[in-house]
Amino acid sequence: MQVVALTLLAVGSLLYFNLRITAPPSPLMIISAGGAIAMLFIGIIFGIVGSILFGVMLLRLTKERGVDLGFRIAGISYVIGFVFLMISVIGIIGAILMIVILILIYIYSGSSIRSVMTR
């Protein structure tokens, strides 16, 4: 879902800005710009739903035996980071937080795999 959201956001924004720069105003351009804006909104909705589902998945993962409790912190931080990413003023903080969270997920998954394999 996150990949679909990022793809829609990228294609929609490229299409919209390309139309705004190159095309003269015409009815076809207005329809195309409307489609690009619709892609942006659908991408934002998919991104929000996907980040909430991923954060909830990380929270529920800690209920399994042998899984590191750091996934709970990563799940909560993931949702917060995505919200920061959507707010344009503090978007860079959200981007940095998302990178840190992905590193934490990688670290916690390694320690959890080792503890599950030793059971």
77-114 pLDDT, tens digit per residue, is 888 888 887 777 777 888 888 888 888 888 888 878 77
pLDDT band for position 119 (cuts 50, 70, 90): low
Least confident of 16-20, 34-38, 58-62, 80-84: 16-20
| Residue of 7, 33, 5, 40 lying closest to 18 (CA atoms) | 33
Higher pLDDT, 116 or 73: 73
d(CA 82, CA 2): 11
